[in-house]
Copies of this chain bind each other. A is one copy, B any other.
Amino acid sequence: MTTELSTDALAGLLDQARQDYAALAARGLKLDLTRGKPAPEQLDLSEDLLSLPGGRYTSADGTDVRNYGGLQGLAELREIFAEVLQVPAGQLLAAGNSSLELMHDCLVHAMLSVVPGAESHWVDQERLAFLCPVPGYDRHFALCERFGIEMIPVPMTDAGPDMDVVERLVAEDAGIKGIWCVPKYSNPSGVSYSDETVARLARMETAAPDFRIFWDNAYAAHHLTDEPVEIADLLGACASAGHADRAFVFGSTSKITAAGAGVAFFGSSPANVQWLLANNAKRSIGPDKVNQLRHVLFLRDADGVRAHMERQRALLQPKFETVQRILESELGGTGLASWTVPKGGYFVTLEVPEGCAKEVVARAGQAGVVLTPAGATHPYGDDPQDATIRIAPSYPGLAELEQAILGLTACVRLVGYEKLLAA
């Protein structure tokens, strides 16, 4: 980190930052920007869910949704999300309230029973590793840690993971069994994968015959602009490339309807779907089909999802604009930070000077603005540059958010100018 400013000028800027920080701390705020959690007004958009399905309890095919059974989930709900998630309804599975559960369970089932194409249970493999594009999602990394799966970081580009690196690694190392991807409006960078990235992921040669792409399409319908990003169809591309079983697609309504009471989806090749259904059949006598019917009656069809997501956008867009406005006004031209301008999703990534992220997060926390721990965006919580901070603007109200981002920028200036002066 270098600067063209004189020491006097820097001292003045630092002094101002110190005053701003002191004023922030004096306010005794309690603001939380840690998680991508919908705000109450967003949940209010799905108020009708709370009294649905009302008198109804049969699905389109006459099934009594209150009773046991129906492992694959309601066909009419899968029809709605087939389009949203780019998976044919017949290859889609509607489950419980959490797609993270489905990712966890796919790992468990791969470890304890043989996934299509595998030579053995993954627990019996000598080495087990996943590629982790960074920055990425801490809950993906936590699953790897929990199961002792080695994480290999791969840098992100503006078009997705650096495919030169990915292709080289998977070609030479049969221990690499998978890659974590958030392909649209990625957590936390907002990047959407280019068609070329999707095509290369589908066709690349992998040393592991049972390699899987964990395609966490969490923000498939979560646009923030008038130009919704469309990504290429991974599942179709994998089938065309002769790697039909490579893609595990995940999605949910957690950030569409109710974060804790939505429906999660799994989509894949027929062989993988049969494999998961067979494993699930041992685990459960079926998902909560009443909640699935509730969602069918509320969302109606893919157009209903789109209309609902426009209402979500109306609540979220002003928050993201607030973040951009304050970052620009407080940090623009300082040379202390750069940040992403996402076209969808739930996060803004702020890059601060090397070695400053932890300190910024700590200072902000001490002044009442709680951020996602620095490092959370990297495997093992270790950001080697100590530079990446994830901002989650969805939950606080607009006024609170403005306070929080102002506070954060004061901390960036404080820590940044301190470093510059010490250099």
* Interface set of A (CB-CB < 8 Å, partner B): 35, 37-38, 40, 43, 46-47, 49-57, 64-70, 96-98, 100-101, 104-105, 108, 111-113, 123, 139, 142-143, 146-147, 254, 258-261, 279, 282-291
Q: Which residue of B is nearest A105, CB measured?
A: B283
Which residues of chain B come closer than 8 Å to A143, judged between CB atoms? 282
Q: Are B104 and A261 in contact (CB under 8 A)?
A: no
- Select the residue from A37, A68, A287 with max chain B CB neighbours within 10 A: A68
Known contacts A104-B282, A261-B288: A66-B54 contact under CB 8 Å: no
- Select the residue from A55, A143, A285 with max chain B CB neighbours within 10 A: A285
Interface of A is mostly: loop
Instruction: Point out the residue from B50, B56, B98 that lies within 8 Å of A53, measured CB to CB.
Output: B50
Which residues of chain B come closer than 8 Å to A55, judged between CB atoms? 47, 50-51
Q: Are B50 and A283 in contact (CB under 8 A)?
A: no
Q: Are B100 and A284 in contact (CB under 8 A)?
A: yes
Instruction: Point out the residue from B35, B286, B291 that lies within 8 Å of A291, measured CB to CB.
Output: B291
Which residues of chain B come closer than 8 Å to A254, judged between CB atoms? 68
Distance between Cα atoms of A64 and B38 in the complex (Å): 11
Instruction: Point out the residue from B54, B98, B142, B282 that lies within 8 Å of A146, measured CB to CB.
Output: B282
List 26 contacting pairs A-B, 8 Å CB cutoff, sorted by A.
A40-B64, A43-B64, A47-B55, A49-B290, A50-B53, A50-B56, A50-B57, A50-B290, A51-B54, A66-B258, A66-B260, A67-B258, A67-B260, A97-B287, A97-B288, A98-B285, A98-B286, A104-B283, A112-B112, A113-B146, A123-B123, A139-B285, A258-B290, A260-B285, A260-B289, A288-B288
- Select the residue from A70, A96, A286 with max chain B CB neighbours within 10 A: A96
